[in-house]
Amino acid sequence: MSKPSDAASTLLLGTGVGCFLITGFGLVQGRMNLEVMSLGWLFPFIGLFMIILSKMILSGTGPFSHAFPDEDDDMLAERVRSEIETTVKDGSVSSAWAELEAAVLESELSEE
């Protein structure tokens, strides 16, 4: 299984190259003109932006570095295990509070 950062970086790089390919086809077919700025010129800028984001994810910096961590299978398994343990602990604390509350309500009802 690949790292999330590698997969995201590859996807963004492919999208960026695809945007440059769209620009090339637009220029070859005459749908884009070098003298006139049109909406089609957004594609090379978006492509450049995607390639820069791809490189930033690989280096571990940028806005998506936390969303796509650079962790291998062992690190991922450890992180998921700790999150499960935290969830189980929170669940047991919640059930303990519920039992305590039920006991207090029973004692209050029996006193009345």
50 close to 16: Cβ distance less than 8 angstroms: yes
**Banded pLDDT at 1 (limits 50, 70, 90):** low
Q: Is 62 left (phi over 0), alpha (psi -120 to 50) or beta?
A: left
Name the domain count of the chain. 2
- Average pLDDT score over residue span 40-45: 91
User: Are residues 47 and 24 part of one domain?
Assistant: yes
- For residue 1, which of 72, 67, 75 has the smallest C-alpha distance? 72
pLDDT attached to residue 105: 83
**Banded pLDDT at 110 (limits 50, 70, 90):** confident
pLDDT attached to residue 68: 77
Give 18 or 36, the one with higher predicted confidence: 18
User: Are residues 26 and 9 part of one domain?
Assistant: yes
User: Are residues 80 and 62 part of one domain?
Assistant: no
User: Are residues 61 and 24 part of one domain?
Assistant: yes
pTM: predicted TM-score of the whole model, two decimal places: 0.62
> Would you say residue 23 has pLDDT above 70?
yes
User: Are residues 76 and 62 part of one domain?
Assistant: no
Q: Which domain holds residue 1?
A: 1-70
User: Are residues 93 and 52 part of one domain?
Assistant: no
User: Are residues 38 and 19 part of one domain?
Assistant: yes
- Average pLDDT score over residue span 29-53: 90
User: Are residues 60 and 11 part of one domain?
Assistant: yes
54 close to 13: Cβ distance less than 8 angstroms: yes
Rounded mean pLDDT of the chain? 85
Give 86 or 14, the one with higher predicted confidence: 14
